[in-house]
Amino acid sequence: MRTLGDEVELLSLTGRDPLASLVEQALERDGLPAGQVLPILGETPQSVILHDGDGRRQIHVDLKDVQQVPYPAERQGAALARCQAAFLCNVEFSRPLVGPARQAGTLVVTDVQAVRDLDDPYDLDFLRAAHLLFLSEERLVASLDKVAREALAHFPAEVVVIGMGAAGALLATRGDGLVGRFPARSTRPVVNTIGAGDALLSASRKFGVAGAAEGFLDRLQLDAMAIDEREA
């Protein structure tokens, strides 16, 4: 979640194991606050990601008990009160925040990831709260245009973005009825597409590194790329 200034309130869970210290070190290295990342799980969730030379990936996820352990409610409420926007992944411990965030007038952004359709009961709380809704085309059964229009018709999102991988993204907006497709811009060779949906608001530069937590642009880097693009 983002506060009224440039600071971020990062809420997450790790385990009581050696991997938790690696998470803390990574957050410190990246200048992110670790005070709200709580080591209350039995073990820290892990992922193993295999990728080939074209950037295609195979993901093996071990969530441990993260879907059964709630984030402490008192800490959630205090963090929400300090924020003007809430970026809530559809992990289970985020669920108690989506309703209060919407009711408080906080901008709610969520990503329901690679869903088959918009009818999965697991994601309904997130769909009903999001002002900005992101999802992936990877497993969608219906056409992307139809999914975007259904999202605007049945849920309150003002903006819907569907990631289309190398083809770019589909953008649908409520205010002007826009449903348009925008091509991806290649900024460097693709190494691994993991984190593609998470980085959809930054740029294709994310995919030029192997790690899921690497390659994200900060504001200054994105501004510099935009200037270079205009001057090219």
Nearest one of 229, 230, 169 to 199, comparing CA atoms: 169
| 190 — pLDDT class (breaks 50, 70, 90) | low
In angstroms, rounded to a whole number, what is the distance separating the alpha carbons of residues 212 and 146? 30
Q: For 71-82, what is the mean pLDDT?
A: 89
The secondary element (H helix, E strand) that includes residue 96 is helix 95-103
Mean pLDDT of 161-183: 91
Higher pLDDT, 59 or 221: 59
Closest-CA residue to 162 (of 146, 174, 175, 177): 146
Q: Is the pLDDT of residue 138 over 70?
A: yes
Q: What is the pLDDT confidence band of residue 88, given thresholds at 50, 70 and 90?
A: very high
CA distance 46 to 62: 5
d(CA 141, CA 194): 22
Percent of the chain with pLDDT over 90: 54
| Mean pLDDT, residues 90-100 taken together | 92
Confidence band of 205 (pLDDT split at 50, 70, 90): very low
Bridge-based pairing state of the strands 2-3 and 83-89: antiparallel
Q: Which residue, among 215, 167, 181, has the nearest Cα to 195 in the 3D structure?
A: 215
Cα 29 from Cα 182, distance rounded (Å): 34
Provide the pLDDT for residue 207: 45
pLDDT at 206 over 60: no
Residue 202: pLDDT band (50, 70, 90) is very low
Question: Whole-angstrom Cα distance, residue 215 to residue 122?
Answer: 30
> CB of 140 within 8 A of CB of 170?
no
218 versus 167: which is more confidently predicted?
Answer: 167
Phi-psi group of 168: left, alpha or beta (phi > 0 → left; psi -120 to 50 → alpha; rest → beta): left
What contacts 202, CB < 8 A, 6 or more positions away? 216, 217, 222
Average pLDDT, the chain: 84
Residue 4 confidence class, pLDDT cut points 50, 70, 90: very low
pLDDT value for 112? 93
- Provide the 10 A C-beta neighbour count for residue 139: 11
Give the global pTM. Answer: 0.79
Q: Taking 70 as the threshold, does the pLDDT of residue 201 lie above it?
A: no
Q: What's the CA gap between 229 and 222, in Å, rounded?
A: 11
